Amino acid sequence: MARRAVAKAYTMQALVKYHGLRDWNLRLPFHDSISVNTDVAYTVARVSFGPFERDTVYYSGMELEGRARERVLAVIDRVRMLGGLGERCFVETENHPKIKAKGMGFSASAGAALAAAAYKAASLEKKYGWDQRLLSRIARLLAGSACRSVVGAYAKWLSGTGDEDSYAVRIGDKSDLDISFVIVPLWLDVSTETAHMEATSSPFLQARIESANNRCVELEKAIRDGDFKKFGELVERDTLELHAVTMTGAYGTILMTPDCLRVIETVKKTREKGIPAYYSMQTGPTVYVNTLPEYLDQVAESLQGLGYSLLVSGIGGGVELLD
């Protein structure tokens, strides 16, 4: 008889973004990074272990093959190893809302939900307890940012020296700095892995590593001090730096599109009117517009005229099990 579990995890907005990987199998980054979970977009993962003929992985009703399947099974294989399991798996994941966008963080929520569901289905909590640090390390094997989605709210991914000390910890929540943000989902047909590969060939990568680590220290302080202005300025600077490193890689990959530049210009004009609003982008054109809760309606109104669909979010929690 198959053992089954279901979990839900939220996407995250990367604030200090990790870029490039020093170990692709373990998905170990070059530097620390910080994110905040959304409360509006999430992935539900269902994992079963049992007497199946083979490992099967479905995403939104379609069976996965190739690299996408390999990344899912990296998580499953770690769970099987920890639990001493020899059984095959059946995996289903589904993103909500169903939207075509790049840079939304769905790989992060998928990795977190998958890790938690597999952990529960394999009864690992009987051996290890509900260990978020271990869950974070397992989720990282699908997508680096997934380790931060596991812990939720404001999370910091410690780059570490190897598998055991590369995990995420929560560094704050809305009681420290309560923000709201408008997400402008935009599409570009390029993989996140391509962007990470570009970073490693940029002549500015080493400077990026040093800058990102320093910025993590500054941003963590801004969050704990409740300093939204400093928060916004640091996140915008990090966005520009991330894309500069990508554009100066071997193939000159440009992830900014005319659409996201329109959004950025609108954010700047909104701020000039005295409304606190700051943009943020990951390795994709989707734009996050951060503001304080009391200004959310004004920020959303300033973006509605551009004709894009919008998602409104607050700070989301960590991974959770579902019945």
The helix/strand/coil state of 294 is helix
Residue 318 lies in a domain: no
- Both 37 and 119 in a single domain? yes
pLDDT number for residue 190: 82
Are the CB atoms for 33 and 148 separated by under 8 Å?
yes
- Both 104 and 164 in a single domain? yes
- Which of 111, 139, 172 terminates a domain? The answer is 172
- Both 93 and 223 in a single domain? no
Instruction: Write b or e for each residue in 63-78: b if 16 or more Cβ atoms lie within 10 A of its Cβ, otherwise e.
Output: ebeeebbebbbbbbbb
Are the CB atoms for 279 and 264 separated by under 8 Å?
yes
pLDDT number for residue 194: 84
Looking up residue 156, the CATH number of its domain turns out to be: 3.30.230.10
Residue 87 DSSP one-character state = -
Looking up residue 247, the CATH number of its domain turns out to be: 3.30.70.890
CA distance 303 to 309: 9
Residue 317 makes CB contacts below 8 A (sequence gap 6+) with 10, 37, 39, 152, 153
- Which of 151, 172, 193 terminates a domain? The answer is 172
pLDDT number for residue 106: 95
Residue 186 DSSP one-character state = -
pTM, entire model: 0.96
**219-247: per-residue pLDDT in tens?**
999 999 999 999 999 999 999 999 999 99
pLDDT number for residue 2: 77
Would you say the C-alpha torsion 240, 319, 112, 212 has a positive or negative sign? Answer: positive
- Both 159 and 260 in a single domain? no
Residue 56 lies in a domain: yes
- For 303, the domain range is 180-313
pLDDT number for residue 288: 98
| Total domain count, the chain | 2
Q: Which residues of the chain have pLDDT under 70?
A: 1
- Which of 153, 172, 191 terminates a domain? The answer is 172
